[in-house]
Amino acid sequence: MDSDEEATTKFNNTFVRPAKFYLSGFSNIPHVKYFYVFLCFVYIMTVLGNGFLLSVIWLVKTLHTPKYMIVFNMALTDLCGSTALIPKLLDTFLFDRRYIVYEACLSYMFFVLFFGGVQSWTLVTMAYDRLIAICFPLRYHSIVTKTAITSMLLFIWLLMLSLTTLVVGLINRLSFCDSVVVKSFFCDHGPIYRLACNDPSLNIIMANVGVSIGVFIPLIFIACTYVCISIALSKIASGEERLKALKTCTSHLILVAILFLPFVVAWASYIDPNARMINYTLTHTIPPLLNPIVYALKTEEVKNAIKKLCKRNNVSNTVTKC
């Protein structure tokens, strides 16, 4: 097989599949290596924070509740999503290994998009939990059950698995007979289908469907949830009770803002391509870092669970020494 055949694989003299793509990523950015070091720090802290939270929820039986099933799912998704993106990103740009094999590129795309979608819909599930807790407090334990939450989370994983498989799989219908330079920091769907020589209309439709299901529909659901919560809180006579109920939502609202606002701002306005890539990178990497701190590790239930674990370990160590 000659060099031309190694560079591309031709299908029926019509489709050209490149052996590799080239990730152009962050070009002409001064001192960009400091940003990569920062991402390395973010990843280490994300793994430690989410790993610790997963361990606490798993080991402390008092946290085996529907609410913390959602938190566990969020921590797991954050850990997997960051692992899918950051190590490969650092390998690509910090060590200048910008060529990526075609099949590996599609796998890279799949896992980043999949875990991003699951993360968005997990926030919807959290919003649902807060809605029932505030609007139907007496019926909360009969509505928000382990079975109900398990079903919701399973549906989310299956929905995003099906959607992401379809979106990524349709890349295989495209022919890449010209450039293989992907203008992104990872194998992003949009920059790749724009390189195609044949008609990418179906891919564009699926991209819009994917963004709608993965970003805008969850955001609409969360907004509607908080409209209902606001109406319910307005009927509470005591301002103190209203404030107390609102405080239970602040952590969730912070997570929603951290995840969705940078994406919406970048989508709705023009910014420099490099600034856009840095913005998207932070959108993918900062929420998984902050989620365990903002939503869980500062709550009394988790703090008490950590104290229980420490006491249990101290007792175990004392018994072992004796």
Three-class DSSP category at 17: strand
Residue 76: inside a domain: yes
Q: Is residue 49 part of a domain?
A: yes
Q: What is the reported pTM?
A: 0.87
pLDDT recorded at residue 269: 59
CA 29 distance to own-chain centroid? 26
Residues 297, 299: Cα–Cα separation, whole Å: 6
pLDDT value of residue 178: 81
> Residue 14: its pLDDT value, please?
60
Count of domains for the chain: 1
Phi-psi bin for 13: left (phi > 0), alpha (psi -120 to 50), beta? Answer: left
Return per-residue pLDDT of the chain as tens, 322 residues.
Answer: 444 444 444 444 467 788 899 998 887 777 888 888 999 999 999 999 999 999 999 988 888 899 999 999 999 999 999 999 999 999 998 888 899 999 999 999 999 999 999 999 999 999 999 899 888 888 999 999 999 999 999 999 999 999 999 999 999 989 888 888 998 889 999 899 999 888 889 999 999 999 999 989 999 999 999 999 888 888 775 767 777 777 777 778 888 888 887 777 666 656 677 777 887 888 888 889 988 887 666 677 777 788 877 877 665 555 455 4
Instruction: Answer yes or no: is 12 within a domain.
Output: no
Is position 4 within any domain?
Answer: no
The answer to the question of residue 8 being in a domain is: no
| Domain hosting residue 164, numbered range | 20-320
pLDDT at 10: 47
Helix (H, G, I), strand (E, B) or coil at 177: coil
- Whole-number pLDDT of residue 203: 92
* 274 assigned to some structural domain: yes
Closest C-alpha among 130, 63, 52, 85 to residue 291:
52
Residue 173 belongs to domain with CATH number:
1.20.1070.10
Flag whether 201 is in a domain.
yes
pLDDT given at position 295 = 67
Whether the Cβ atoms of residue 222 and residue 259 lie closer than 8 Å to each other:
no
Whether residue 247 is contained in a domain is answered as yes
